[in-house]
Amino acid sequence: MKHLTTETKKGPRKILSAVREAKEQNPLCFALEGFYTDGTDTFFGHLGGLERTKDRQQAFREILAPYLRKMNFADGILQSYVVKEMDHDRVLIDPRFRSGRPFLESSGMPVFPILAEMKDSMKLEAIADEFDVPFEVVRDVRRHRRELAPVA
**Host H or E run for residue 142:** helix 135-143
Give, in degrees to the nearest 5, the angle at Cα 128 between 94 and 66. 45
Q: What is the mean pLDDT of residues 17-36?
A: 63
Output the pLDDT for position 77.
67
Output the pLDDT for position 114.
92
Confidence of residue 9 (pLDDT cuts 50, 70, 90): very low
Residue 44 CA to residue 58 CA, distance in Å, equals: 10
Confidence of residue 146 (pLDDT cuts 50, 70, 90): confident
Q: What is the mean pLDDT of residues 43-65?
A: 82
Q: What is the mean pLDDT of residues 78-91?
A: 78
**Which amino acid, one-letter code, is at 40?**
T
Enter the DSSP assignment of 133: -
pLDDT tens string 106-132: 888 999 999 999 887 789 999 999 999
Q: Examine the pLDDT at 55 and tell me if it is beyond 60.
A: yes
Provide the terminal-to-terminal Cα distance of the chain, rounded to the nearest Å: 24
Count of all residues that appear for the chain in the document: 152
Q: Examine the pLDDT at 4 and tell me if it is beyond 50.
A: no
Any long-range contacts for 1-5 (C-beta under 8 Å, 24+ apart)? 1/25, 1/53, 1/54, 1/55, 1/56, 2/53, 2/54, 3/42, 3/53, 3/54, 4/35, 4/37, 4/41, 4/42, 4/53, 4/54, 5/40, 5/41, 5/42, 5/54
Output the pLDDT for position 130.
92
Give the pairing type, strands 73-74 and 69-71: unpaired
pLDDT over 90, % of the chain: 17
